[in-house]
Structure 1
């Protein structure tokens, strides 16, 4: 089993041709971060005729935008009533509405621009692995149906046919959602942004931002950019001391393991409609199939640096629990990405300084959230209208004890996975 991200293997959508920033540049808007949020911002700004450049520290993609599960989810991590409780009536329902419509915007971009990212539009499945989990799904179903969402709680034989396992008692199917190859989707956004005039610079990490006149100067190892406005779109990969977004989330990780392509009746029975799925466990497991028929399993926690035997044991345990008819599975590759968590599981959109807008805290919902936040930032920067954003821009207090939050989460994830490997947890 190699440590390699599946989503860049044999990708149909080509990597963008970019350069490293070398020298001085003047532009209207500078975007820091070449992931989904940053590239969506650049794409929508350039479409409106606004001059924009993107500074990315690595390749496109490098971070979570190309390493996530590839779910095109509607809404946030938590149920809609909980979002309203955390954010208030007006902001909570605004987030529910904007992010509930986010999958449609993602799929519209893919179709309009011919992005080759193997999209599926058959929905997603939230899997009730025990009675408590099924009760939670029923609660979510009721809240979503009350808001007009096309969701259905599927039980019994219909659930078994849709999931391919007898271990799941009920599944909440959200037909708004789907899946894609996240690395190809990110590359596609880059291609379209470039075609519309955006300039993309890779291997150009920002080392400092300072005020210059009415704008901002961003320094890189070999150059600099002076811009009227700045977008910080680094999310979970914000580490530099100048980057104030790092005060507004605590970092976590998500590991994945992919099999070799599978065939046969037992394999064909697993998610036959190719929905992406995740269960209601305390430390969830995600399950999906890729375009080549691989079984892709994932869970919260760091996989990088773990012994291959540990990762194989965990993957065998999950596959064997849900799909015993499959028999022994040969695991092909493993990879991990970072997640930006917040204590209330909601995102943060803010202006840390005049002329700078920033986003973080997607809590594992980056494919859709990043796309609509980018569109919203573009509308705000070009027209002063923030109505397309899931939340209004406002001030937040820094999260205290971020390192402790991260350590506690990772320790809990690791202990849970160890319990699964030792068969102490089903």
Structure 2
């Protein structure tokens, strides 16, 4: 996008074309205006339109420009926080609600894809959380026990079965989560946009919001060339927020994350490397992730930004690491490279904000945007329609607060990833 091959990489290269949209250049009216064209905003728009509610989406750049078009494409259940810890963080009522909602979120994604026939390379064979050493094995066993106690279809694989599924002997075991899977994220979010348009939503792109004004019981949302008057505003800008809701960006610390995609592997290699196409990530503190796309490209990533010295450092590290993980690949060639920013909250838990009367939004996905964004968008639609009142929402109402020393922490993470990747293969 915007002539930057490192912004969306492989996903822009292989996704279906976006639906036709235009810039807002007039004064419009709706019942709900959704700000942000990612997973949350477009899920909200789709579910609102399906209820017969007049909804307009305002996207500042292009559909999927933010995290929706840059990520790895893992459809995960739950969050980074261990299941038993969420009630401690959120309290027993909200902790249980969010566990139930996010634990089943991958099934909601699957159902939407099937219902709307979204072509996004959906794979339903699960994900593998790969244990590095004994410490990693202890972690995945505990995570498995906690999710299994809640009835989730999860199990720990031994080193032998892990090696057979991955094509590498680097790991001591893996947690198989059969709820989860992978997809082409930019294709998915563009598919949500098409489905929302078909249901009756109007989507404007290249239309960043520059201000809002309360008008009686409603709101007027302004762009440079137009405006939308509505009863409700859904704020779905997440970590790429600018303008009136930049505080969402300021309450999260950016963690840069990059991906490299190999050229398509040959048939023989595809039979030994991820033959079932599970999405994978490991238990290292500076983690690595890998998965296969439909054409057989191996997508490999980790923490870091592909800019300045980071581009060469992380590319060299990725080649060394792939050689250690999958020696059968030989010397790999990368077809695409890209990176984005993960917004991290201080406790790795999402937020629900009520910015003003009838101005609401979820944020803070901590690198797990696909499934949470989809179900939180659906939840917002139900809330606006009156099916879920504030007391029944999955998260408590919190006020956004800017993080202290945010810029310093972000610089530390970016530099620290380079140092770690210079020091070794990190597998």
CA positional deviation for 1:404: 3.0
Q: Report how far residue 306 of structure 1 moved.
A: 4.5
What does residue range 245-256 of structure 1 map to in structure 2 within 5 Å? 245-256=248-259
| Residue of structure 2 aligned with 1:38, choices 36, 41, 47 | 41
Unmatched 5+ residue regions in structure 2? none
Residue 408 (str. 1) matches residue 409 (str. 2): no
After superposition, the C-alpha distances for 1:388-408 in whole angstroms (9 at most, x for unaligned) are 854243445443332233233
- Provide the secondary structure at the position in 2 that maps to 1:375: helix
- TM-score by structure 2 length? 0.94
Q: 1:226 to 1:306 in 2, by over 3 A?
A: farther
In structure 2, the residue matched to 1:129 is 132
Out of 274, 277, 281, the position equivalent to 1:274 is: 277
Contact 1:127–1:279 (8 Å) recurs in 2: yes
1:106 alignment counterpart: 109
Indicate how the Cα distance of structure 1 residues 300 and 312 shifts in structure 2: closer, same or farther if over 3 A, else same: closer
Correspondence list, 1:19-418, <5 A? 19-240=22-243, 242-306=245-309, 308-386=311-389, 389-395=393-399, 397-418=401-422
Query: CA contact under 8 A between 1:304 and 1:336: conserved in structure 2?
Result: no
Q: How much has 1:262 moved relative to structure 2?
A: 0.7
Q: Give the 3 Å change call, closer, same or farther, for CA 396–312 of structure 1 in structure 2.
A: closer
Q: Matched residues in 1 for 2:418 and 2:315: separation?
A: 14
Secondary structure, counterpart of 1:119 in structure 2: coil
- Give the SS at the match of 1:383: coil
Between 1:316-325 and 1:111-120, the stretch displaced more is 316-325
* Contact 1:372 1:388 (C-alpha < 8 Å) held by counterparts: no
1:10 is aligned, of 7, 10, 14, to 14
Relative to the length of structure 1, the TM-score reads: 0.95
Gap change, CA 1:390 and 1:305, over 3 Å in 2: farther
Q: Which runs of 5+ in 1 are unaligned?
A: none
Shift in Å, 1:410: 2.4
Q: Summarize the Cα distance change of 1:242–1:235 in structure 2 as closer, same or farther, 3 Å threshold.
A: closer
Instruction: Classify 1:367/1:388 alpha carbon distance in 2 versus 1 (closer, same or farther; 3 Å).
Output: farther
In 2, Cα distance between the equivalents of 1:242 and 1:14? 29
1:308 shift after superposition: 4.6
Say if 1:58 and 1:205, in contact at 8 Å, map to a contact too: yes
TM-aligned CA deviation for residue 22 of structure 1: 0.2
Q: Distance in 1 between matches of 2:297 and 2:402?
A: 41
| Rounded Cα–Cα distance in structure 2 between residues aligned with 1:294 and 1:75 | 27
Work out whether residues 34 and 41 of structure 2, in 8 Å CA contact, stay in contact via their aligned partners in 1: yes
Deviation at 1:144, TM superposition (A): 0.9
Q: CA offset at residue 32 of structure 1?
A: 0.5
Any idea what the Cα deviations from partners look like across 1:167-213, whole Å, max 9, x if unmatched?
A: 11100000000000001100110001001110000000011122222
- Alpha-carbon contact 2:343-2:366 (below 8 Å) kept: yes
For residues 322-381 of structure 1, the C-alpha deviation after alignment (integer angstroms, 9 at most, x for no partner) is: 111211001111011121101110000110111100221100110001000000000001
Deviation (angstroms), 1:409 = 2.6
Q: Give 1:84 shift.
A: 2.1
Contact 1:376–1:388 (Cα < 8 Å) also in 2: no
- Give the direction of change, closer, same or farther, for the CA distance of 1:67–1:271 in structure 2 (3 Å limit): same
Question: Could you tell me whether the CA contact under 8 Å between 2:248 and 2:400 is conserved in 1?
Answer: no
CA drift at 1:383: 1.1
